């Protein structure tokens, strides 16, 4: 970051001396006012719940222009990456800052595939869960448990440890998600097959059984790979900020990523894809497209507590570029599987059409986000609804790691420690229990 030409001056109506604050510019996007010395200079904190106007770090990984609906990974538009690159190239880009050449890609892919197995003991840990446990509960546990299995990569301050932890996490997430699924349906775990692509291997671990050969459908493989690319990183969202905050204490990378998994689970974040499909299924059960108007009235009624899941975004005030690409993939997959008349897809399109024309959504700049169509694609592929957020976690892992590593390498990095505006009781004395 570089010092901008102008500076900010903060003045106070009570006559306190005004303070000058430096302003910094990044390469693109809004400038930031540096308030780090504000408390020392004024005795005051800033107040910004939900981080609506606060940049918590500098980052060179992902850039979003919410008004334009633009998403760049290391400068490359998501549309170009989704069309020309696969997930392994995207991982390399996010982790190391450049797209690999053919030899670099082959070496990186080989490195990842050599780490796809998990310690055999992990399955006994997994077996401690109830069979009907939510996959995200299992994933939070399993990812955290990796720190108990891979002791040689837990020192976050050691660059070699961070590198090997990064590769292990990217390689093992598909294995863990597939194991969580197989466990829930009582089928044997399938070991990874390293001759397959990253997405192809995941499909194999999910849907193959030891009884029959399993052939990966290339359309589904490509669709899944695109889902991974579209979810790989998204700037300082809630789970990424969680990973950074958690890692800022110096905890090990597996523990920090487990914190990200836990945060992602929420319906306002990664859990939205599951919530979106559940919503579509509920409207379908009520009568489908004919009930869209009634449902929309509930969404617009502030007292109903009903939201149109898969719509709206803190940063995008335009069409989420990932949603457009996901809609394309949705068309491709449904056509390849002969599901063009899928009622939930028709319902989603009807909801989208109404929402894009309705003043409630237009005036609030609410557009479909990536989760609006990703659930339909995943359902068509055969992934159970409860596993959707697990797939998101699998794909986002590379982004979390890239952001964590960037933070550790930043000379300005400090343990994260937000301040507060205290509104509770002032100092008071404890009264003996009999006299309260």
Q: Which residues are catalytic?
A: 313, 371
94/112 with CB nearer ligand CMC: 94
* Closest separation in Å from C-beta 269 to ligand CMC: 4
Considering the complex, state which of residue 168 and residue 269 has its C-beta at the smaller distance from ligand CMC. 269
- Of the pair 87, 316, the CB lying nearest ligand CMC is at 316
Quick one: which of 280, 292, 274, 283 has its CA closest to 375? 274
The smaller minimum CB distance to ligand CMC, of residues 234 and 379, is found at: 234
Least CB distance from residue 252 to ligand CMC, whole Å? 25
Q: How far is the CB of 384 from ligand CMC (least distance, A)?
A: 20
Q: Decide: 230 and 82 in contact? Cβ < 8 Å.
A: yes
CB of 374 to ligand CMC, least distance (A): 9
Least gap, CB of 392 to ligand CMC (angstroms) = 8
Residues that bind ligand CMC (CB under 6 A): 234, 237, 268-270, 272, 299, 307-314, 364, 366, 369-371
The residue at minimum Cβ distance from ligand CMC is 312
Taking the least distance from each CB to ligand CMC, the nearer of 204 and 234 is: 234
Nearer to ligand CMC, 183 or 311 (CB): 311
SS (H, E, C) the chain: CEEEEEEEEECCCCCCCCEEEEEEECCCCCCEECCCCHHHHHCCCCCCHHHCCCCCCCCCCEEEECCCCEEEECCEEHHHHHHHCCHHHHHHHHHHCCCCCHHHHHHHHHHHHCCCCCCCCHHHHHCCCCCCCCHHHHHHHHHHHHHHHCHHHCCCCCHHHHHHHHHHHHHHHHHHHHHHHHHHHCCCCCCCCCCCCHHHHHHHHHHCECCECCCCCHHHHHHHHHHHHHHCCCCCCHHHHHHHHHHCCCCCHHHHHHHHHHHHCCCCCCCHHHHHHHHHHHHHHHCHHHHHHHHHHHHHCCCCCCCCCCECCCCCCCCCHHHHHHHHHHHHHHHHCCCCCCHHHHHHHHHHHHHHHCHHHHHCCCCECCHHHHHHHHHHHCCCHHHHHHHHHHHHHHHHHHHHHHHHCCCCCCCCCCCCCCCCCCCCCCCCHHHC
Least distance from ligand CMC to the Cβ atom of residue 387, Å: 16
Beta partners for residue 212, in sequence order:
209
Query: Closer CB to ligand CMC, residue 172 or residue 269?
Result: 269
Distance (Å, whole) CA 237 – CA 229: 17
Nearest distance from residue 425's CB to ligand CMC, in Å?
A: 30
């Amino acid at each position: 970051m570089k010092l901008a030409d102008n500076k900010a001056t903060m003045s106070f109506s009570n006559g306190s001396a005004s303070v000058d604050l430096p302003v910094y510019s990044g390469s693109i996007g809004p400038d930031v006012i540096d308030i780090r010395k504000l408390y020392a200079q004024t005795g005051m904190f800033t107040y910004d719940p939900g981080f609506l106007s606060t940049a918590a770090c500098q980052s060179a990984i992902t850039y979003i222009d919410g008004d334009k609906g633009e998403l760049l990974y290391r400068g490359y538009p998501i549309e170009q990456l989704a069309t020309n690159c696969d997930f392994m190239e995207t991982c390399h880009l996010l982790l190391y800052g450049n797209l690999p050449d053919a030899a670099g890609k082959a070496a990186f892919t080989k490195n990842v595939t050599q780490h796809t197995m998990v310690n055999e003991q992990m399955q006994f840990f997994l077996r401690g869960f109830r069979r009907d446990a939510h996959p995200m509960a299992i994933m939070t546990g399993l990812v955290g448990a990796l720190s108990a299995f891979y002791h040689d990569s837990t020192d976050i301050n050691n660059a070699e440890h961070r590198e090997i932890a990064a590769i292990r996490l990217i390689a093992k997430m598909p294995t863990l998600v597939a194991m969580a699924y197989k466990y829930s349906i009582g089928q044997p775990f399938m070991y990874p097959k390293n001759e397959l692509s990253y997405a192809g291997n995941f499909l194999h671990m999910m849907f193959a059984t030891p009884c029959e050969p399993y052939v990966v459908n290339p359309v589904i493989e490509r669709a899944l790979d695109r889902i991974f690319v579209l979810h790989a990183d998204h700037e300082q969202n809630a789970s990424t900020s969680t990973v950074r905050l958690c890692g800022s204490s110096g905890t090990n990378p597996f523990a920090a990523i487990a914190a990200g998994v836990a945060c992602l689970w929420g319906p306002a974040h990664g859990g939205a894809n599951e919530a979106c499909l559940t919503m579509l299924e509920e409207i379908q059960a009520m009568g489908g497209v004919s009930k869209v108007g009634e449902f929309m009235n509930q969404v617009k009624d502030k007292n109903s507590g009903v939201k149109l899941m898969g719509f709206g975004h803190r940063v995008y005030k335009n069409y989420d570029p990932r949603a457009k690409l996901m809609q394309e993939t949705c068309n491709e997959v449904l056509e390849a599987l002969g599901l063009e008349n899928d009622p939930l897809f028709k319902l989603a399109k009807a909801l989208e059409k109404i929402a894009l024309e309705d003043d409630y959504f237009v005036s609030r700049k609410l557009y479909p986000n990536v989760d609006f169509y990703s659930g339909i694609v995943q359902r068509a592929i055969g992934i159970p609804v409860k596993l959707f957020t697990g797939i998101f976690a699998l794909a986002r892992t590379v982004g979390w790691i890239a952001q964590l590593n960037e933070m550790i390498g930043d000379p300005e990095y400090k343990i994260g420690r937000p301040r507060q505006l205290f509104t509770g009781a002032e100092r008071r004395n404890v009264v003996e229990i009999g006299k309260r």
